[in-house]
Structure 1
Amino acid sequence: MHRSRFAAIVIDSQVDDINTANQFWPQALGMPYQVSKEEWASRYTHLDVPAGQPQVLLQKVSHESRVHIDIETDNIEAEVARLSTLGASVVERFPRWVVMQAPTGHKFCVVNPQRDDFATADNVNVWP
């Protein structure tokens, strides 16, 4: 048995400096931002979303700009297997997440729990 849920919308931005995204998206969405921990600060920013809502993340990338979702889970391999049975395929594996592609062509990530309330939330799916 494992658990998973929709965790975040990630705005992938092909920019030279993450501050380009930091200057636009927080103002466009009306949410202040927080720079990520120092080791990640040049690539990631978190918008301050209301409690209980999925995160909105800004990410500096080398590929074309796009938006993708993250699915958080307490068992990445089990969730990847479940999604594979639904027709998704693994694109690339990283130590802390897996990039997958849906049968519709959309790429998304399966990640470790991201939101603080994952372990205690009622809105988490439980899978056999």
Structure 2
Amino acid sequence: MTHRSRLSTILIDTPAAEAPAAATFWSQALGAPTQSPPDEPQFTGLRDALPDLVLAVQAVDDQPRYHVDIETDDVDAETARLVALGAVEVNRWLECRILRAPGGHLLCVIPLHSDPATFTRLSREWP
């Protein structure tokens, strides 16, 4: 059975106390208006900063860093594919899997959330 995935999101992880200032900075630096989803207040989206990708500031209880999200139509299959490539699953949050890639960078495998036409156009199919 095949599945599809794509790089969908780049997150600027920022300590929670500094997240509003970081969101303002990146909004002004990139000329991208902010947008916060009402049900996920830890995220501040930077609308239209990157074509076909989400760029957002995420308030975290950790060190500043960047991480990426890979969206997929099969979280289990994509997680297994990335683990086979050398990633290690380190945690889960809701339906998302948090992995550490070789080199130490974090990434999340998330369920499909973008526009279906965008996902179909930009995703790759995996065996």
TM-score by length of 1: 0.88
Distance (Å, rounded) in 1 between the aligned partners of 2:50 and 2:112: 16
Q: How many residues are paired up?
A: 126
> Match of 1:40?
40
- What are the within-5 Å matches in structure 2 for residues 66-105 of structure 1? 66-105=65-104
Cα shift at 1:52: 4.6
Q: Would you say 1:21 and 2:28 are equivalent positions?
A: no
Residue aligned with 1:40, SS: coil
Residue aligned with 1:77, SS: helix
Distance (Å, rounded) in 2 between the aligned partners of 1:45 and 1:63: 17
Deviations 1:41-67 (A, max 9, x none): 2x1111111685211011100010111
TM-score by length of 2: 0.89
- Please tell me whether the aligned partners of residues 32 and 49 of structure 2 are also in contact (alpha carbons under 8 angstroms): no
- Identity of matched residues, %: 37
> Match of 1:55?
54
Q: Given the superposition, is the C-alpha separation of residues 22 and 52 from structure 1 closer, same or farther in structure 2, using an over 3 Å criterion?
A: closer
Runs of 4 or more consecutive aligned structure 1 residues displaced over 3 Å after TM superposition: 117-120
Distance (Å, rounded) in 2 between the aligned partners of 1:126 and 1:85: 16
Q: Residue 62 of structure 1 aligns to which amino acid in structure 2?
A: D
Cα shift at 1:111: 0.5
- Please tell me whether the aligned partners of residues 118 and 124 of structure 1 are also in contact (alpha carbons under 8 angstroms): no
Q: Residue 19 of structure 1 aligns to which amino acid in structure 2?
A: P
Deviations 1:53-89 (A, max 9, x none): 2110111000101111100001111000000110111
Could you list the runs of 5+ residues in structure 2 that have no partner in the other structure?
A: none
Cα shift at 1:110: 0.6
Could you list the runs of 5+ residues in structure 1 that have no partner in the other structure?
A: none
